[in-house]
Amino acid sequence: MEVKLGLKVTGRCAVTFKTVSGTFFYEMEQDIKRFLTSLQPEFDLAYRAVTDSYGYMWIVFEGKRIEDLLAALTATGDMVEEKGFSDQLLAAVFEFANERQGGHQYLIYNYRRNNFYPFVPTGQKTRDTEQEMIMMSAIGEEMPFEKDMTLWYPLWDLPLKSPG
């Protein structure tokens, strides 16, 4: 993506799922946090949990190595599924910096559809669909991509920025 589009991995990604009340879900959250904390000495990885205004929990990862980020994100999604909450999984989000045009662009994995799609926000609830098409055409052969653009759901107010 860097060569084709001038997009560089920022070292931030996230997995998001709908929270539910109950002991089993709370225990799963605690298991995920314990697991991720146990990874920190071995991997150069930081994480934080954020709940958004829609009631979705985001586990946001930051790290230098894409391999570490992917391993942590995949393991988190697997834990959610293993605990019986796969229906709660919404998306995994990968952030890229556009070195040519500035700003951030995202590759979103939709768990329900098992496909990726691009998201290029340009402002408050606006997006660059032309750039999204360019992203898709550049990498659509390399991964399972959502062909139906009406299913390229925008995820506004992504909590991927570092706090502070």
Residue range 10-16: mean pLDDT, rounded: 95
Q: Give the range among 71-80, 86-95, 120-129, 153-162 with minimum mean pLDDT.
A: 153-162
Residue pair 74/61 in contact by the 8 Å Cβ criterion: no
Pairing relationship of beta strands 56-63 and 89-98 according to DSSP bridges: unpaired
Residue pair 163/48 in contact by the 8 Å Cβ criterion: yes
Instruction: Give the pLDDT of residue 160.
Output: 87
57, 78, 24, 112: CA torsion to nearest 10: 60
24, 57, 14, 17: CA torsion to nearest 10: 60
Angle at 53 between CA 13 and CA 151, to 5 degrees: 60
Tokens 């929990």 label which residue?
57
Domains of the chain and any CATH numbers? 2-151 (3.30.70.600)
Q: Tell me the pLDDT band of 3, cut-offs 50, 70 and 90.
A: low
pLDDT reading at 164 higher than 70: no
Residue pair 92/158 in contact by the 8 Å Cβ criterion: no
Other C-beta atoms closer than 10 Å to the C-beta of 119 total 22
Instruction: Give the pLDDT of residue 162.
Output: 63
pLDDT reading at 114 higher than 90: yes
pLDDT tens, 53-110? 888 999 999 998 888 898 899 999 999 999 999 999 999 999 999 877 778 999 999 9
pLDDT tens, 27-50? 999 999 999 999 888 888 899 999
31, 33, 38, 43: CA torsion to nearest 10: 130
